[in-house]
Structure 1
Amino acid sequence: MSTPANRFDTAWQAALTHAAQLAAEHNRDVVLTRDLLGRASLLIDDREAPLPADAPGLAEAATAFSEATHPFTGLDPLQTASELFAPELFFDVPELVEVTAPHEGSGRVSTLERTVVGGDWATVTGTESEPPQTRQTRRIALYGFKGGVGRSTATTVLARSLAERGLCVLVVDLDLESPGVSNLLAEPGATPAYGVVDHLVESAVGNAEDLELVARASLDSPKLGNGDIWLAPAAGTTRPGYDYLAKLNRIYTDLPAAVLGGAPTPFAARLEQAIAACEAQVEEKARRPDVVLLDSRAGIHDIAAVTLTRLCDQALLFAVDNPSTWEGYRMLFEQWRRQPAQARLLRDRIRIVAAMFHSAGDIDRLSILRRNAYDIFMKTLYNLPGDEDEEPFLPTKGDVDDKPYAPIPILFGNDLVGLDPLRSRKWPELPFVRAAYREFVDTVETLVQDMYKEQS
C-alpha cells in the first residue's frame, strides 16, 4: 500500500517545521506563505546580505520541503528576498503573523496567508503591529455571519434615529457584492456619480481626486432637526457605460510599492482611504460626520474582516439563535483567539444583536440566546493567556447588559413580514417599526455617547 498523500492540515504542519529549520540553519528571518490553493512556499529575508542562488543547503532544503509538503507545495518552494520583484509585499506587511521570535542563532518565522478570504481576520487595528487610527469620527460596523437577518434595514433605522438626535450620520454601503442599504436611503438616481468601488479602482492608479462619492440621503425625514444622513453607496449612479462588475473584479488587490512609487498598500489600507475620502466629502459639503455606519458584507470575506478588525470602533454582530450562526461566530472568534492581545481588543468593541427576535410566547427565549452567546465567548475570547481576571459565570439574574455577549434585541412580528421599505419612505415612522427597534437604537445611542466620552 502506498503512503497516503498529505492533506491540507498535515502539509501545513510539515511546512512550519521546515520553516523553523531553515531559519535556524541560515540565521535569517523566514516567511512561510500559503497561496489561494493552499500551496506553501518558503521565503528567506536576505535583503541585508544577499544569499547566492547556490548557497550551501538551499537546494537540499527546497527538495526536502517539497517532499514533505506535497501536493500542497508552492510553484517556487523556496525563494530569497533578493530574487523577488517586490519583497516588501511579503516581509513588510501588517498581515504577517509571527510564529517564533528570533533568538540566538536563528531568525524569526512568520506566516503570510495569500488568500481571497480570511487573511485580514488576523490583523487588528490597535495592536503594536497595527497602530490605532487617530480619527475624530466614531465608526460602527453592522455585520452578520449569515445574510437575511435585517442588517441593512437596521442600519437605516439606526441612521434615522441618530439623525433625529441632531447627529450627522454617514452610511457607507460595504456590501459590495450585494448592495442594499443604498436603496433604502436614496431614491433611484439620487445617489452620487461614483461609489466605494470606484474609489478603490481609481486610487489604484492615482486617479481618485474629485470623485463625487457621497450624497444627502433622500429618505423622507421631517423630524431630523439639525441632524443629517449622508450616503456613500457601493456603486455610483447607473448610466450608459458604467461597468460595475468589471470594477468589482479588480478591487481586492494589494498594491506593491512600485505601482504608485510609495510604500506597499494592502487592501485594508485602500478601503480605509476610501472611507476617509467619503468622510472628508461630507465635512466639505456640510460638517464632519459624528457617526459613520458601515453596512458590512455578511459571511467570511475580506470586506467583513477589514471592517471588523481595522475600520470600526464598535461592531454589532447580528445573530439568529441557531447552530449555524453560533458555529460561524465560533470559527471567526477562534481566528482572533490565536493572538490573545488582539482578541482582548476585539472583544471590547463588539456586541451581539438578537436579530429578528421572536419574543411572543416565550419569555425565556432571550435568556437562552444570551446563554448561547456567552458560551461561544467563553470558549474563544475570554480567559485568554495573560488575562488578569477570569470572566465570571453567567449570572441567572443581574445586570450583564454591558457585556459583549449580552444580546441587543430587534423584535420581529407579523406586521414586519409584509413591510416593503421601497414603497413608502415614511416606513421608519410606523409605530410597530419604532417599537421593534426601540431597544436597539437606544442601546446603540448609549454606545455612541460612551465612545465620545472615552475620546474626550
Structure 2
Amino acid sequence: MTESTRFDDAWEQACTLARTTAADGHDVVLVRDLSGRSTLLIDDRDDELAPDSDRLTQLRQAFREQLGPFAAHNPVQTAAAMFSVDTFFDAPELIVLEEREEDLHGRVGVLERTVVGADWSGPGTGPEPVSSRAWPRIALYGFKGGVGRSTATAVLARHLAELGNCVLVIDLDLESPGVSNLLADPGAASRHGIVDHLVESAVGNADGLDLLAKSSLTPKDGNGEIWLASASGTPRNAEPYDYLAKLNRIYSDLPPEVPGAKPRPFAQRLEDAIAACEQQTEKKNGRLPDVVLLDSRAGIHDIAAVTLTRLCDHALLFAVDNPSTWEGYRMLFEQWKKQPDQARAMRDRLHIVAAMFHSAGDIDRLNTLRRHAYDAFVATLYDLPDDDTPEPYLPVEGDVDDKPYAPVPILFGNDLVGLDPQRSPHWTKLPFVRAAYRDFLRAVEELVHDPYEDLA
C-alpha cells in the first residue's frame, strides 16, 4: 500500500512546482486554502495560455500526482480565465518567495487562506514610527503562559508612573485577562473593554465607548498616572453583558463598509482599538500617554501575532529556560524568516526576558539561557539569505551584552504566587518585589527614554 502524501510534503511539492513554472518568466501565486489544498495561479495576461494546452494539462496532472489529497479540484488556473485577478496577484497579504528576474524568472508568491495565524508570516509593516506618535508601545509576550508576564506589566506600569510618566496599559489577553485584575479598581472600572470596541466598530458603532479607567496603583505623589484599558467592560446597574458572545465574533476579517472600500482585517481593527484607547487618555485628563504597555496573549494566537508584528516598537519576550520555550520561539522566528524584510524589522525590536529566574546571582545559569537564546536567533533571524553578515549581533566577551538575545532577569519569588492585589494594595512597593524586578525595570526604563536604543 502506497503511503499517502501528508500536509508538509504536499506543500514542499507545490512550492517546487511553482518555482519550476515561474522559470519560464510567468509570475505565479500559490494559494493554500483552509483545508490545506493548493492551487497554482499563472499570470498569463501578457501572453495568454490556451486552457487545454499540453503544458497546463501536464502541470495539473503533476499537481494531482504529487500533492495527492492536498491538490485542489482545479489545481492550475490562469489569470486570463479569472474574474478578479488583482485580488490574488496584488493582494496585500501576498508573501513573495522569489522576486521577478526581468524576463528570466517570474515572481513566486504565496497566499495562505487561514482562519487564524496569518499575521505571523504576513508582510508585517509594523506600527507608525515612534516620532509621529511621540510615545513608544512596548509589548510583553510569552510563548508559554504562566511566566509572570501580567505581573511584570503591573510592576512596570507602577515604576514608570513613579518616574512621572502617563502610562497606558492595555490588556490584550482577551481569553484570559490578567493584568486587568492587578490594576483595576472595582469602584472605578471602565464600562467597556477592548472586546466591546472590536464588536461595536464592526458595525460602525464605536463612538462614545468608555474604554479607560484610572488604576488604583497610580502613585499618590508626583505627576505619574496609570490608565487601564481592560479586556472586558464592567456593566452598570445590572446591564446585560455577554462577554463570550462578543469574544466569539471579533477575530474574523470583515468586508468593506461601502462598495469599493478596502476589507477590514482583524489586524487593522485591533490597531484601531489601541489608537482609540490612546486618544481617550487625552479626553480623560488632557494628557496623551508617555508610554503604552501591551499585555499580549500568550502562545500562537492572532492577537499575539498582530501585537508583535504590527503594534509594538519593542517586544519583551518572556523565556523560561526549557526546550519547549526555545522550540516555540524558533517556530515563530522561522515564520518571520520567510519574509527577510520583516525578519530584519522584528529582530531589531525583540528583547529576551529571563522570566521567573530561580538563581539570583548565578551567572552560569544566566549565560546558559543567553546561549540558548542566541542559538535560536542565529538559526533563524540572524541567518537571512541576503544578509551581508550572517550574524549581525555578534556576542560580546564578558558579562555585559546589549544584544537582543541577552536576557534581562526577573527573579522568582514564592510570595508572588497567588497574589491578591485587593488584599495587598501596596504589593508593588514590597522590598522583595523591588529586588526581583530591579534589572528588568532599569532595562525597560532605557527603552522608554530612548525608544530607538536596544535593551541594555
TM-score class, shorter: 0.7 to 0.9
Residues 2-151 of structure 1 mapped to structure 2, 5 A cutoff: 2-20=1-19, 23=22, 29-44=27-42, 56=53, 61-74=59-72, 77-78=75-76, 90-102=88-100, 103-104=102-103, 107-123=106-122, 125-126=124-125, 134-151=132-149
- Report the Cα distance in structure 1 between the residues aligned to 2:85 and 2:271, rounded to whole angstroms: 23
- Report the Cα distance in structure 2 between the residues aligned to 1:274 and 1:89, rounded to whole angstroms: 27
Task: Supply the AA of the counterpart residue of 2:411.
Answer: L
Structure 2 residue aligned with 1:308: 308
Structure 2 residue aligned with 1:272: 271
Structure 2 residue aligned with 1:180: 178
- Report the Cα distance in structure 2 between the residues aligned to 1:105 and 1:345, rounded to whole angstroms: 30
Task: Supply the AA of the counterpart residue of 2:271.
Answer: E
Moved more, 280-289 or 377-386: 377-386
Unaligned runs of 5+ in 2: none
Residues 12-411 of structure 1 mapped to structure 2, 5 A cutoff: 12-20=11-19, 23=22, 29-44=27-42, 56=53, 61-74=59-72, 77-78=75-76, 90-102=88-100, 103-104=102-103, 107-123=106-122, 125-126=124-125, 134-188=132-186, 190-219=188-217, 221-223=219-221, 225-238=222-235, 240-257=239-256, 261-286=260-285, 287-360=287-360, 362-389=362-389, 390-391=391-392, 394-400=395-401, 402-411=402-411
Deviation at 1:443, TM superposition (A): 1.0
Contact 1:32 1:110 in 2 (8 A): yes
- Report the Cα distance in structure 2 between the residues aligned to 1:195 and 1:394, rounded to whole angstroms: 43
For residues 251-280 of structure 1, give each alpha carbon's deviation from its aligned partner in whole angstroms, at most 9, with x where no partner exists: 222234466741223222221111111111
- Report the Cα distance in structure 2 between the residues aligned to 1:246 and 1:45, rounded to whole angstroms: 43
Contact 1:141 1:294 in 2 (8 A): yes
For residues 79-128 of structure 1, give each alpha carbon's deviation from its aligned partner in whole angstroms, at most 9, with x where no partner exists: 5668878766544443211122234176422112222443212235458x
Alpha-carbon spacing, 1:246–1:91, altered in 2? closer, same or farther (3 Å):
farther
Query: Aligned residues: percent identity?
Result: 64
Contact 1:50 1:82 in 2 (8 A): no
Deviation at 1:341, TM superposition (A): 2.8
Provide TM-score, normalisation by structure 2.
Answer: 0.87
* Equivalent position SS for 1:98: strand
Deviation at 1:161, TM superposition (A): 0.7
Alpha-carbon spacing, 1:85–1:248, altered in 2? closer, same or farther (3 Å):
farther
Structure 1 residue aligned with 2:433: 433
Q: How many correspondences in the alignment?
A: 447
* Equivalent position SS for 1:328: helix
* Equivalent position SS for 1:380: coil
Task: Supply the AA of the counterpart residue of 1:71.
Answer: P
For residues 198-228 of structure 1, give each alpha carbon's deviation from its aligned partner in whole angstroms, at most 9, with x where no partner exists: 22222222222222222222336324x2111
Unaligned runs of 5+ in 1: none
Contact 1:32 1:42 in 2 (8 A): yes
- Report the Cα distance in structure 1 between the residues aligned to 2:197 and 2:68, rounded to whole angstroms: 41
* Equivalent position SS for 2:29: strand
Deviation at 1:298, TM superposition (A): 0.6
Moved more, 405-414 or 308-317: 405-414
Deviation at 1:309, TM superposition (A): 1.2
- Report the Cα distance in structure 2 between the residues aligned to 1:31 and 1:282, rounded to whole angstroms: 44
- Report the Cα distance in structure 1 between the residues aligned to 2:174 and 2:259, rounded to whole angstroms: 25
* Equivalent position SS for 2:324: helix
- Report the Cα distance in structure 1 between the residues aligned to 2:340 and 2:387, rounded to whole angstroms: 9
Deviation at 1:149, TM superposition (A): 0.4
CA-based RMSD of the aligned residues comes to: 3.1
- Report the Cα distance in structure 2 between the residues aligned to 1:75 and 1:209, rounded to whole angstroms: 46
* Equivalent position SS for 1:37: coil
Alpha-carbon spacing, 1:198–1:59, altered in 2? closer, same or farther (3 Å):
farther
Contact 1:22 1:30 in 2 (8 A): yes
Alpha-carbon spacing, 1:51–1:211, altered in 2? closer, same or farther (3 Å):
farther
Q: 1:413 aligned to 2:413?
A: yes
- Report the Cα distance in structure 2 between the residues aligned to 1:5 and 1:112, rounded to whole angstroms: 24
Alpha-carbon spacing, 1:202–1:78, altered in 2? closer, same or farther (3 Å):
farther
Deviation at 1:362, TM superposition (A): 4.0
Residues 433-452 of structure 1 mapped to structure 2, 5 A cutoff: 433-451=433-451
- Report the Cα distance in structure 2 between the residues aligned to 1:100 and 1:34, rounded to whole angstroms: 17
For residues 335-380 of structure 1, give each alpha carbon's deviation from its aligned partner in whole angstroms, at most 9, with x where no partner exists: 2223333222211111111111112484522222222222222222
- Report the Cα distance in structure 1 between the residues aligned to 2:242 and 2:83, rounded to whole angstroms: 32
Deviation at 1:296, TM superposition (A): 0.4
* Equivalent position SS for 2:379: helix
Moved more, 108-117 or 268-277: 108-117
- Report the Cα distance in structure 2 between the residues aligned to 1:199 and 1:190, rounded to whole angstroms: 19
Provide TM-score, normalisation by structure 1.
Answer: 0.87
Alpha-carbon spacing, 1:37–1:425, altered in 2? closer, same or farther (3 Å):
farther
Alpha-carbon spacing, 1:207–1:113, altered in 2? closer, same or farther (3 Å):
same
Deviation at 1:291, TM superposition (A): 0.6
Deviation at 1:186, TM superposition (A): 0.7
